[in-house]
Amino acid sequence: MAAVCDKKYDVIVVGGGHAGCEAALAAARMGAAVLQLNLYLDNTALMPCNPSIGGPAKGHLVREGSALGGEQAEAADRSAMLVRWLNTSKGPAVQALRAQCDLRDYAAHYTLAVETQKNLDVHQDVVTDLWTEKGRIRGVRTKYGLVYEGKTVVLATGTYLGGKVYIGEDSFASGPLGQVPSEELSRSIRGAGLETARTRTDTTPRLHMDSLDLSSLTAQGSAAEPLAFSLWGKGKIHEGYFCHLTRSNPLTHGIIRENLHRSPLYMGWMEGSGPRYCPSIEDKVIKFPEKESHLIFLEPVSRGNREVYVQNFSTSLPYDVQLAMVHSLPGCASAHITRPGYAIEYDYVIPTQLHPYLETKRVEGLFCAGQINGTSGYEEAAAQGLLAGINAALKARGEEPVVLSRSEAYLGVLVDDLVTKGTKEPYRMLTSRCEHRLLLRHDNADRRLSPIGRKIGLIGDERWNVLLARWKRIDTEAERLEKAKIPPSEGLNEALAALGSSPLSETVSAADLLRRPRVPYSLVERFSPSPEPPRGEEVQALEVEIKYEGYIERQHRQVARLSRMEEVRLPSGLDYSSISGLLAESRQKLEALRPLTLGQAGRISGVTPTDIHLLSVYLNSLSRREADDEEYQAQ
Amino acid sequence: MDSRSPHSVTQDTIAAIATAWGEAGIAIVRLSGPEARRLADRQLVLTVPLSGTPPRYLRNGFLLDEKGEAIDQVLAVWFAPPKSYTGEEVVEIHTHGGTLVAQKCLELLLCRGARLAEPGEFTKRAFLSGRIDLTQAEAVLGIIRSRSDEALRAAARTLKGELASFARDIYDELLALSGKMEVSLDFPEEDLPYGNDEDTGHSLLAIRQSLEDLLDRCATGFLLREGIRVAIVGRPNVGKSSLLNALLRESRAIVTAIPGTTRDLIEEVLTYRGIPLRLVDTAGLGDPSDEVEAIGISLAEEAFKNADVRIWVADGSTPPAPFDFDMAERLRDLVHVVAVNKSDLPPGREDTGRTTEEAISELLPESPVLSISAKKGTGLDNLKDAVVSSIAGGGALDSGLNASARQVNEIRAAIGFLRDASEALESGLGQDIAGSGLAEARSAMERLLGITGDDTLLDYIFSQFCVGK
């Protein structure tokens, strides 16, 4: 007989990884009574793959999390060993931070955060069963013999559900190498009426730093300026840690080809489809036979150990083959493998069964976040965890959920893609998935999302005031630039010539000078000094808003056009079979997916513009009929 | 009855071919208005007339020609107001084969009293009768010139052959260029083959040029389907009205007389080889003698300017007047055909000579010049051929691609987006901005081709580039 915990929770979070921690922290900070169940407490916020945070699109997600009141940016800043700006020359929308983190410091930050968080109880236990009644979640049952009651449950189970690890011909039930998998919960999830599927991902061998000869390899250090993901972080200059570049070569590829028959992938053992963007090295060699060499990074994983991650070298070939492959890499001739690379296969919940606020349609009060939704990456997981935690807390309070639109946040794109289109491979955030990316920049995440974070109670007075002061500085300076005049001068024209810009012939506003391609704010400020110049990243925000004004406005107009479709809500009981003219395939998809808005309906793959047109005409006739009925009754 | 009820609004009954011009399995002729069923029943012999058939019930039968002989087996269906697309009584007649039978069917219905629908008029009526609201009307703005949602559907269905294959080629090039740019934005730390901005600029320009060519051909096809606006110009008493009447008389298929966009000019429509010719007589193009005439002249000027082709009627029985030299000057850069009328008549006076084809050719060496007699009705077919050829180019009607107005708009949009992308790249604003322009152009082409682009870009990227951690 299981013991029933007498404390009733608002939110129960299942999982202690990136999504689970964010969900638990957000809900507790919003005042909900939260329980976090983690199957092994020492693995809080584990980074079982490369301990790197950020990059294009992923870095945007981290900054967005910070703007909403999440924790990942703090953890990344706190644990960074080296940080760099990427894509600096490719335009304002795709610039992003990437940090190599110390995985122990990162985990320690989250561990302390959840342990010291008010309203949050953290327990080690293994959830085996969902307790549901009449289509509603009531709580969870655990392996240690407990029953916990909760108004809502957030599943953030990562790669643990039915996890199975493959190394060459060997395979065994496991979470990330060496961890306990979760066997029973998958069945319970399916028992609750949710459909699951298998997917997989790979990781690389780890090497002992002291067994490598890095002297001949190119080293990549940290940026010379202080950089931070967090909106409130000061950033610091990181020294002493480097990534090293090496390359695979014909010898490596030969070893792989000779041993392909021993790969679980090519033996057809694994069920899930692996990610295309993150192929194992054996995948790359097979798919791109003309490439004789692939770029590989050797990256430190912690200040506290000597392990090195071999970026771009994930593999599930047998251990002995991995050893030969590693030894063929420059600098690694006598490398010692501390742990082998492996593939992990696990269950995920098909995400089209979720609402855009991450609650399952089938079981009220049950939310899913992170890899359980078919995504890949710590950033994708944390961002979803944050949103699920927010919405679980709101649900417990009886309030409306937060739904982020595609024009509002990368997180909005991520969730909309998942719930509308689903995914057949681990979903990775990419800037090219985002149609309004000029609006969704790293530098304006605070303006886009912090008002929401503030409203739901995740951003306190102190942080809010920092943002208000920042926005005021930017806006005041932008106004000043419009008014300030800059006359032509010899000094200015020399500076312009150096930038490849034509000389000034008459007086212009400072803003117009800044609008010229390639003219930076620093130059404008030199000739039109500001009483209170913006600082650090504020400069970038200011520059972009002025320089790209026309393009930004155009994207805003596009969004406004599309928003009409986003605002048309589809009734939850809509009978699609009564709408004549819909293609049979579209009708099936609409019935299965039950989109919230006309806009979402239009993004379902296979649903044509004509279907949407018909749907819209039908909706209108519905509302007119209702209006007629009311009129009739009024008479 | 509710006064807002759409079918109480008295309106004439309009008709049009709802499917795209060109070869197709079936074509649909659509009627909308209070007389729709009555008109259809008079032209069709069905197992049961539509007047005795419940709505939305398909009947089999035959289309009769003016002699009462069956010329095609057809299907017909009607929709009762207000549950129809326009909210009015609507009949649809499904005919076989491409445009020819449908065109015939339409002509017969028009003879019975239906009026040829203006482009977008079905949708306009749907809006006016409250079947769709303004938001939706705006939503269909892009398709407003195609006649109905069925036309759109048909266009997507019949989108095959040349247009699709050209558009597809361009789309593939766009995709490849997009893929190259995007992959370097999303995977900055990988060794990727992104060239330089200059090469990308060249590629952008080349793709844009291909789109411009495609647009030209579509515009031609569009014109052929929607009708060629023909302005008949020339000095007074040169025989413009006679020519107009001759053309209309000679063509058994007098379609209808539509008051033009302006109130005082009459547009007459006839079809030649299945192509509507919309003829406007620009009476009195010249010096005004009073204010009323001045208004008429400004309308005529408008018609002259807006026409797709101008037929200049010159008087063959008199020598060229100053007006003729002016006219030749004005026509030089416009699409036109010269008809030398009254060439069979003896010259007015012995000593004054006449305007010969050679004389015109001296004025306008590049122009097609034809001798006609409006009175006797000779040379008219040659004239109509010349009019059609002047649009179709070389007389090959099918060089024009069968694109709907919506599709033409998408091509235009794609061109615009590519121009923006080029500018962004040239001014050093960044690959991300240029990439967004390319993405916009891509989705315009996807809409044109009727394909969903969902994951096409990513599929392309991952199949072409070796990326990933």
Q: Does B350 touch chain A (CB under 8 A)?
A: no
Confidence of residue B353 (pLDDT cuts 50, 70, 90): low
Averaged over A525-548, what is the pLDDT? Answer: 92
Domains of chain A, residue spans: 7-202+345-456, 206-342, 477-554, 568-634
- In angstroms, what separates the C-alpha of A287 from chain B's closest C-alpha? 8
What whole-number distance in Å separates Cα of residue A498 and Cα of residue B38? Answer: 79
pLDDT for the residue numbered B314: 87
Predicted pLDDT of residue A355: 95
Mean pLDDT computed over A430-444: 92
What is the residue-wise DSSP string for B307-364?
-SEEEEEEETTS---HHHHHHHHHHTTS-EEEEEETTTSPPSSGGG----HHHHHHH-
Q: Which long-range contacts (CB under 8 A, 24 or more apart) does A525-531 make?
A: A526/A495, A527/A486, A527/A489, A527/A491, A527/A492, A528/A481, A528/A484, A528/A485, A528/A486, A530/A477, A530/A480
Residue B151 above 50 pLDDT? no
- Per the DSSP assignment, residues forming a β-bridge with B166 are none
Contact B400, B220 (CB under 8 A): yes
* A466-470, long-range: CB < 8 A, 24+ apart: A466/A231, A466/A232, A467/A231, A470/A446, A470/A538
Which B residues, 150 through 179, put their C-beta within 8 Å of a C-beta on chain A?
Answer: 152-153, 156
Q: What tokens were used for B141?
A: 């703005």
Contact call for B2 and A628, based on CB within 8 A: yes
pLDDT digits (tens, 9 = 90+) for A23-66: 999 999 999 999 999 999 999 999 999 999 999 999 999 999 99
Predicted confidence band of residue A610 (pLDDT cuts 50, 70, 90)? low
CATH 1.10.10.60 fits A477-554, yes or no: no
The per-residue pLDDT for B159 is 43
Judge whether residue B144 has pLDDT over 70.
no
Taking only the tens place, the pLDDT of each residue in A154-198 is 999 999 999 999 999 899 999 998 888 998 999 999 999 999 999
Q: Which among A86, A294, A613 has the least Cβ separation from residue B188? A: A86
Query: Does residue B2 surpass a pLDDT of 60?
Result: no
Using CB atoms, pick whichever of B131, B140, B466 lies closest to residue A291.
B466
Section B53-78 average pLDDT:
88
Q: Which residues of A touch B461 (CB under 8 A)?
A: 432
Lowest-pLDDT range, A29-43, A411-425, A576-590, A617-631?
A: A617-631
- pLDDT score recorded for residue B1: 33
Task: Summarize pLDDT for A485-511 with one digit per residue, the tens.
Answer: 999 999 999 999 999 889 999 999 999
Contact A501, A519 (CB under 8 A): yes
Ranges A269-283, B173-187, B372-386: which has the least confidence: A269-283
Identify which of A278, A284, A620 has the shortest CB distance to residue B132: A620
For chain A, percent of residues with pLDDT exceeding 70 = 95
Q: Is the pLDDT of residue A12 over 60?
A: yes
Q: Flag whether pLDDT at A121 surpasses 90.
A: yes
Q: What is the fold, at CATH topology level, of the domain defined by B227-398?
A: Rossmann fold (3.40.50)
Residue ranges per structural domain of chain B: 6-158, 162-220+404-464, 227-398
Helices and strands, number each (H, E), in chain B: 15, 14
Query: Which amino acid is residue A205, in one-letter code?
Result: P
Q: Of chain A residues 288-327, which have a CB less than 8 A from chain B?
A: 288, 291, 294-295, 297, 311-312, 314
Contact A613 B185 (CB under 8 A): no
* pLDDT interval class at B260 (50, 70, 90): very low
Q: Is the pLDDT of residue B128 over 60?
A: yes
Burial class (CB in 10 A: 0-12, 13-18, 19+), B409: buried
Please name the residues in contact with A306: beta carbons below 8 A apart, sequence gap of 6 or more: A208, A209, A210
Count chain A–chain B contacts defined by CB atoms under 8 A.
139
Q: B2 CA to chain A: closest CA distance, Å? A: 10
User: Domain A568-634 adopts which CATH fold?
Assistant: DNA polymerase; domain 1 (1.10.150)
Q: What is the mean predicted confidence (pLDDT) over A334-357?
A: 95
Cβ separation B132–A617 shorter than 8 A? yes
**What gap in Å lies between CA B247 and CA B383, rounded to an integer?**
10
Instruction: Give B6-158's CATH code, choosing from 3.30.1360.120, 3.40.50.300, 3.30.43.10, 3.40.190.10.
Output: 3.30.1360.120
- For residue B136, the chain A residues in CB contact (below 8 A) are 613, 616-617, 620
Higher-pLDDT residue of B160 and B232 is B232
Q: Answer whether CATH 3.20.190.10 is correct for domain A206-342.
A: no
Which pLDDT value is given to residue B394? 45
Residue of chain B whose Cα is closest to the Cα of A282 = B466
Q: Domain B162-220+404-464 is of which CATH architecture?
A: Up-down Bundle (1.20)
pLDDT of residue A482: 95
Q: Report the residue of chain A nearest B142, measured CA to CA.
A: A609
Q: Which of these ranges, A618-622, B163-167, B444-448, has the smallest mean pLDDT?
A: A618-622
| CA distance linking residue B216 with residue A479, whole number of Å | 46
Name residue A245's amino acid.
Answer: L
How does DSSP classify residue A504?
P
CATH number, domain A7-202+345-456, options 3.20.20.70, 3.40.50.300, 3.65.10.10, 3.50.50.60? 3.50.50.60
Contact status, residue A357 vs residue A154, Cβ threshold 8 Å = no
* pLDDT value, residue A134: 93
Do residues A71 and A232 make contact, with C-beta atoms less than 8 angstroms apart? no
Which has more pLDDT, B200 or A627? B200
A315: its two tokens: 């593999």
- Taking contacts as CB-CB distances below 8 angstroms, the residues of chain B near A564 are 135, 138-139
